[in-house]
Amino acid sequence: MHRAAAVVCSLFLLGCQAPQGTAGPASAGPLAIATWPFGAIATDLAWQSLQRGGSRLDAIETGIREVERQSCDGSVGLGGGPNAAGYPQLDSCILDGPGQRAGSVAGLEGIVHPISVARAVMEHTRHVMLVGEGARWFALQRGIDSVPIEELAAKKQEWQQRPAPAPQGQGHDTITLLLRDSDGHLAGGCSTSGAGGKLPGRVGDSPILGSGLYVDDEVGAAGATGVGENVMRYCATFAIVERMRQGLHPQQACEEVVHDIARRDPRRYRLDICFVAVDKQGRFGAAASNQRFPFAVTTAAGTQVLHVDAVSPR
Ligand code: GLY
């Protein structure tokens, strides 16, 4: 059996009995896994949604909407880090394994729940991705919560009072949520305000299928967080799923892709990238290039925030 990487259970939530703190054991029932400690909000709500009879997509949308609403860590939703011009531009996508259905939005302004727009693109258009003004127009047509575009100007003033943005790779995160239901079907979603201080129009990995998120219902699902440029140049989550297809445990697949990118990239391991993955059997894993990476998991046994240390450079 594959040696799962040591993971420390750092927090039990909700007073539930939680599983042992090692990545990877298969879960027969539903399992939700998400990036960062605030991912516990999403995994827990997603799991509850499934228990209430919601669909996989309901579960993904419900979990991510709450993180967007709270703008957790100032990196998701309209409270997320503004771009260099002073206003947030949001990226999101959603994928459902059966039928390989997908929806995505990028550079979305003034919309409270990008994940709902991504889902609406999937369910109500013949397209996969909408960007910028078109994405906002579509969201307004669908009646998805918005703020007046004029209010974004005020954010610019507010932004100018703040300290200079942190260098890329520090202080920007993403909610990426993966779900395996009790039938072994998979889904996932991402939402982010992207790198703080990014150029207007910059799109990161999160809305790009195969980069920030990939789901293959025959194999597994993988999601990313961190510096999008270092994820999207390597189609990293697609690469993780392909390694699971070759038989690797999700833990091993995440680690191998970090090593493979570091081997090829001039930055070596200074990539600021982190991954989570789950396979069709309900085994899960996570890996990070150069930082301790906390992530959240919810199963029937409860919700835990676990962490992996950075991979050891080869
Ligand atoms: N991973 C989020 C971004 O770089 O935009």
Catalytic-role residue among 43, 62, 174, 176: 174
Q: Is residue 81, in this structure, part of any structural domain at all? A: yes
Question: Best substitution site from 72, 104, 225, 230 to test ligand 1's pocket, by max atoms within 8 Å of Cβ?
Answer: 225
- Decide whether any atom of ligand 1 lies within 6 Å of the 282 Cβ: no
Report the pLDDT value the prediction gives residue 162, as an integer from 0 to 100.
Answer: 65
Q: How far apart are CA 192 and CA 302, in angstroms?
A: 26
Q: Which candidate, 65, 38, 60, places its Cα nearest to that of 47?
A: 60
Could you identify the residue written with the tokens 């992996």?
308
Please compute the mean of the pLDDT values over residues 65-79 and round it to a whole number. Answer: 85
Residue 313 belongs to a domain: no
Asked if residue 314 is part of any domain, the answer here is no
Is residue 13 one of the residues assigned to a domain? no
Q: Is 226 in the pocket of ligand 1 (CB under 6 A)?
A: yes
pLDDT digit string, tens, across residues 147-179? 877 776 676 666 666 665 555 444 458 999 999
Q: Where residue 220 sits, what CATH number does that domain have?
A: 3.60.20.30
What is the reported pLDDT for 224? 98
Instruction: Tell whether the model's pLDDT for residue 235 goes beyond 50.
Output: yes
Sign of the C-alpha dihedral, residues 105, 63, 227, 78?
Answer: positive
Average pLDDT over residues 43-51: 97
- Residue 58 lies in domain: 3-7+20-308
- State how beta strands 273-279 and 220-226 pair: antiparallel
Active site residue 174: yes
**What pLDDT score does 7 carry?**
39
Q: Is residue 64 part of a domain?
A: yes
What pLDDT score was predicted for residue 81?
A: 81
Cα separation, 125 vs 109, in Å, equals 20
pLDDT at 215: 98
Q: Which has more pLDDT, 285 or 165?
A: 285
132 CA to centre of own chain: 20
Residue 39 CA, distance from chain mean position: 9
Residue 306's nearest CA partner among 295, 291, 298, 292 is: 295
Share of the chain above pLDDT 90, in %: 73
The tens digit of pLDDT for each residue in 117-143 reads 999 999 999 999 999 999 999 999 999
Residue 5, pLDDT > 60, answer: no
| Domain count for the chain | 1
Closest CA to 228 of 188, 285, 169: 169
Say if 78 falls within a structural domain.
yes
Instruction: Please determine, for residue 260, whether its predicted confidence score (pLDDT) is greater than 90.
Output: yes
